[in-house]
Structure 1
Amino acid sequence: MVRATGGGLALAVAGGALLGARGGRPSRAARLAGLGAALLAGSVLADSAMEHSRANFRERRMYAAPLVAGATVAAGVATALSRASAGPRRLVFRGAALTGLAGTVFHFRNILSRPGGLSFNNLFYRAPFGAPGALVLAGGLGLGALAAEEREPRAAGRALGLLGAGGLFGLTAEVGLLHFRGAFQNPAMYAPVTAVPATGLALAAATLRPSPARLRLARGALALTSVLGLVGTGFHAYGVSRGNGGWRNWTQNLFQGPPVAAPPSLAGIALGGFAALRLLAPGRRG
């Protein structure tokens, strides 16, 4: 499954590059948002493929998330490279958002259907309630990238900024729950549950009432969030290595250890935030 996931991700990126080979170059804001959508969708593809494989894809609809995420990776890469063929990409991004919403409903149903209902035990060990939201965000960032080319820049910037801030708050809840399950055994586990919501607040403030000072603060906070995403990937890889057999036993430890594919989603949201700030900056048009 790991090889299939890696191959699918590579194929999606290559397909997106091929689709984006024609047409005019998009604005910088559209490129940032498109890449953010692709990075988020890539995280969803890898994470959902692994987790649904662990559940043996016992329901056919479990194939939807990795397949739609793969299409969204291709659409995001193409959007970052070219303005051409916006219509089909819009359909893909809308499909991603709808698939993510449906997945959220299914995950909550999975949690509530277990003995004890909405309990910490079920939130810890059943379908992760916030995971499908990343696909909603990927679709939203993709639509925002297209809007940055077609609509008034500040309106697109506000939409992207509020979406990014909401995504950061939602991600904080998911990460906080899972790091709480891990008893915050490493002090570094506090970093995302403190820095990420602060970034969300800075981005929301800059979006609702943009000013040079707020925009600078939000840019700095988003840069820190991007670094957290990269560093978090390293920490999660280290967590996998601590399992019995380390990386030599990767076929088991990747399933049992912390999700290596999850932290890059922070960088994906941050790219969307940078796109929003660029559109909101005075005198900028993308």
Structure 2
Amino acid sequence: MSLIAHFSPRPSRKNRAARFDARPAADARQPPVSPSALMMLAGGGLIAASAAGWLLGAGGDNPPSRPARYAALGAALLAGSVLADSALEHYRGNYRRPAMGIAPLAAGATLATALATAISRRALTLKSAIFGASFTTGLFGLGFHLKNILERPGGLSFNNLFYRAPFGAPGALALAGASGLCAVAAENAAWRASEGTIEEDTGRILGLVTAGGMFGLTAEVGLLHFRGAFHNPLMYAPVAAVPLTGAAILAASVEPTGTRHATARRLLGATTALGLVGPLVHAYGVSRNMGGFGNWTQTLFQGPPIAAPPSLAGMALTGFAALDLLKRSAREHRHD
């Protein structure tokens, strides 16, 4: 023992307790179900919600218009992504708070309602109420996640944004609700159009919702891919393409010329492709973790999240709905 250590004053009992208590012990509580049971529950939830939506919409007369179908299918993709992703991510948090079970349940209800909206135009008022509740739940989730980040040591820092409750994740549920409301609005606009009502205002609203969703998804994807150090060049693709798509649909909504309409449609197609190919790329990333899918009870929860990319395709479908409603104005600009 050195002389400095020998003659250094010993910390008081209070200081020693504070030192030992500075880093709390790991939470001994375990998740309520096993990983395999969780996967069966999440898969069963997706199947049950899809079946419920089909049954609720089957047999209806007067199928919805194409813009309404696009927006409703976009809401369904977003809701399905939230259902699977939130079930896994909240499992990582041991479902320590009862509110953590709300997101998968709300996403399942939204998925069923969105599929029913894509099939039938019945009960639009009830569907609007469910979509509105989903939108509100997503906003509350954003608040809870932000509170979780700010309460951690360091507050709003990159470390907390990377490894605490993902700030933007509940926004996908809010976007699912907004897309569902857009589907109802598109159906109402298509119905009124037969009486001579112009659809441009509704299309512009859908376009602005799509643009806002694209910019929000860019922030979330960019943050998580930055956390991954962009170690794979493919990680740059959504960060580059999605904001361009948002800007294109925003420009087409403000002034729907033929050129802007065509550009936005091409970029929406590229974003849809990214959303559909993304799960395969993320699955490859999971396979690269130690143990690969042979150790799926660990690697699947380490990420990258396989269920997240379809939200890009879901938002793009809402953009296609907006362009369909704006195409009349685009044709008028082309003739001018």
Query: Would the TM-score normalized by the shorter structure come out above 0.5?
Result: yes
CA distance in 2, matches of 1:176, 1:81: 35
The question of 1:13 aligning with 2:59 is answered no
* CA deviation string 1:97-134 (max 9, x = no partner): 00000000000000000000000000000011111111
Percent of pairs with identical residues: 63
Please state how far the C-alpha of 1:22 moved relative to its aligned partner: 2.9
Q: How does 1:93-242 map to 2 (within 5 A)?
A: 93-151=131-189, 153-242=199-288
The residue correspondences of 1:77-96 to structure 2 (distance < 5 A) are 77-96=115-134
User: Superposition pairs for residues 206-285 of structure 1, below 5 Å?
Assistant: 206-282=252-328
1:42 to 80, 84, 87: 80
Residue 283 of structure 1 and its aligned partner are, at CA, apart by 6.9
Shift in Å, 1:232? 1.5
Mapped to 2, the partners of 1:46 and 1:88 lie a distance apart of 25
Structure-1 residue corresponding to 2:28: none
> TM-score scaled by structure 1?
0.97
Amino acid at match of 1:119: S
3-state SS in 1 of match to 2:169: coil
1:153 deviation in Å? 2.2
Q: Deviations over 1:33-65 (max 9, x none)?
A: 000000000000001011111111111111111
> What's the counterpart of residue 22 of structure 1?
59
Structure 1 Cα separation of the partners of residues 154 and 122 of structure 2:
51
1:281 aligned counterpart, secondary structure = helix
The answer to whether the Cα contact below 8 Å between 1:35 and 1:76 also exists between their aligned partners in 2 is yes
1:76 match: 114
Alignment check: 8 A CA contact 2:206 2:322 kept: yes
The separation in 2 between residues aligned to 1:242 and 1:2, in whole angstroms, is 20
Question: For residues 246 and 216 of structure 1, what CA distance do their matches in structure 2 show?
Answer: 42
Q: Which aligned runs of 4 or more in structure 1 are off by greater than 6 angstroms?
A: none
Measured in 2, the distance between the counterparts of 1:160 and 1:184 equals 32
Q: Distance in 2 between matches of 1:231 and 1:8?
A: 23
Letter of the structure 2 residue corresponding to residue 106 of structure 1: F
If the length of structure 2 is used for normalisation, what is the TM-score? 0.83
| SS class of match (1:282) | helix
Structure 1, unmatched stretches of 5+, are none
Q: Which amino acid in the other structure matches residue 114 of structure 1?
A: R
Rounded to whole Å, the distance in 2 between the matches of 1:127 and 1:202 is 31
CA RMSD, Structure 1 to Structure 2 (Å)? 1.1
Indicate the structure whose relative CO is greater, using CA pairs within 8 Å and at least 6 residues apart.
1
Verify the 8 A CA contact 1:246 1:253 in the aligned structure 2: yes
CA distance in 2, matches of 1:230, 1:21: 26
Question: Computing the radius of gyration over CA atoms, which structure comes out larger, 1 or 2?
Answer: 2
Report the number of matched residues: 284
| Alpha carbons 1:22, 1:84 under 8 Å: kept | no
Q: Tell whether the 8 Å contact from 1:50 to 1:255 is kept in structure 2 after alignment.
A: yes
